[in-house]
Structure 1
Amino acid sequence: MKPMILVALGGAAGAVGRYKLSGWVLHHSVSWKFPLGTFCVNVLGCLIAGILAGMIAKHDLFSPDTRLLLFTGLLGGFTTFSAFGLETLYLLKRSEHLLAGANVLFSILAAMMALWIGFELAGTGSRP
């Protein structure tokens, strides 16, 4: 029961964070066709995951319960790759093929770069 409570608490906090951040970005990019809110949430989520994973790799930080809360709960509730897929599909259905391709390409490249930067910021160097 304890693991489910940790995931639920983290997931609730992550979902609220996603809602607030993506809403703020949407408010400031209303005229954009590109799904910038989801893009920003995914990249930030990957940056945070990279930093936390790098800290764990270097310093063996966080108990298993804390890792469950942070990764499965908080980041699982925060990142929005299901929304990413749906928004990309909608772009394709509207024949916005270039924007759909840009969303896929930039989301993946920026997320991978954010993960790498997170590991570097955590001081792990090339060690996974």
Structure 2
Amino acid sequence: MSSQESVRAPAGPLPRRRPPVWRGQGPAVAVVAVGGALGAAARYGAGLLWPTAHAASFPWTTLLVNVTGCAVIGVFLVVITEGRPAHPLLRPFFGTGVLGGFTTFSTYAVDVRGLLVAGRPLLGFGYLALTPLAALAAVWAAAGLTRRLVLGRVR
């Protein structure tokens, strides 16, 4: 038996190679990055327009940004999931990128810590509870209003 005879081709078709991950996910990663930069810039602008005086002050800007961003998420998701079909990259760009960069729950955590360190535990724990409750209420209310006003139906 020669060395050429011992090497045989596999039976059946050759397995297909998967495309590189970046080829399939590249556009989504790119639009999330661009959207995130835009959202973060908008959040930074809000902080410049309405700065928190010091660590012991109530962080109104962060609360407003998070609640507003969550309300917009409620409107956006109802429109793209229950309304007209949207481009496949719209959700990662706007929902994950822009609104993910705009809302800032990491700053929320730093603000809570700042209030606690500044000796304002009641305000800190109040803010700790208020933010997620207000954010959830904003999503719920905005989604409900969008269904009624824009789509003309109630769920």
Report the TM range for the smaller structure's normalisation: 0.7 to 0.9
- C-alpha root-mean-square deviation of aligned residues, in Å? 1.9
Structure with the largest fraction of helix: 1
Larger Rg: 2
CA distance in 2 between counterparts of 1:67 and 1:4 reads 12
Would the alpha carbon gap of residues 97 and 55 (structure 1) be closer, same or farther in structure 2, given more than 3 Å must change? same
- Pair 1:74 & 2:95 matched: no
Corresponding pairs, count? 125
The structure 1 residue matched to 2:139, chosen from 108, 112, 115, is 115
Query: Counterparts of 1:55-74 in structure 2 under 5 Å?
Result: 55-74=79-98
Name which structure has the greater RCO, CA cutoff 8 Å, separation 6+: 1
Cα distance in 2 between the residues matched to 1:25 and 1:126: 36
The answer on whether the counterparts of 1:43 and 1:111 sit within 8 Å (CA) in structure 2 is yes
CA deviations 1:74-101 (Å, max 9, x no partner) are 0111010000011101211222101111
Return the alpha-carbon distance in structure 2 between the equivalents of residues 78 and 33 of structure 1.
21
> How many Å apart are 1:126 and its aligned residue?
5.9
Indicate which of 32, 45, 60 corresponds to 1:7. Answer: 32
Q: In the alignment, what sits opposite 2:58?
A: 34
Please give the secondary structure, in 2, of the residue aligned with 1:77. helix
In 2 relative to 1, CA 58–103 (structure 1 residues): closer, same or farther, beyond 3 Å?
same
**CA distance, structure 1, for counterparts of residue 88 and residue 115 of structure 2:** 40
What are the superposed Cα offsets for residues 19-46 of structure 1, whole Å, 9 maximum, x if unpaired?
Answer: 11122122xx648810111111100110
Whole-Å Cα distance in 2 between the matches of residues 47 and 18 of structure 1?
Answer: 15
Distance 1:14 1:61 in 2: 23
Unaligned runs of 5+ in 1: none
Greater Cα shift, 115-124 or 62-71: 115-124
Distance 2:154 2:47 in 1: 32
Of the three residues 32, 41, 56, the one matched with 1:16 is 41
Q: Scaled by the length of structure 1, what TM-score is found?
A: 0.86
Report the TM-score when normalising by structure 2.
0.73
Separation in 2, partners of 1:66, 1:77: 15
2:129 — aligned with what?
A: 105
Structure 2 gaps of 5+ residues are: 1-25
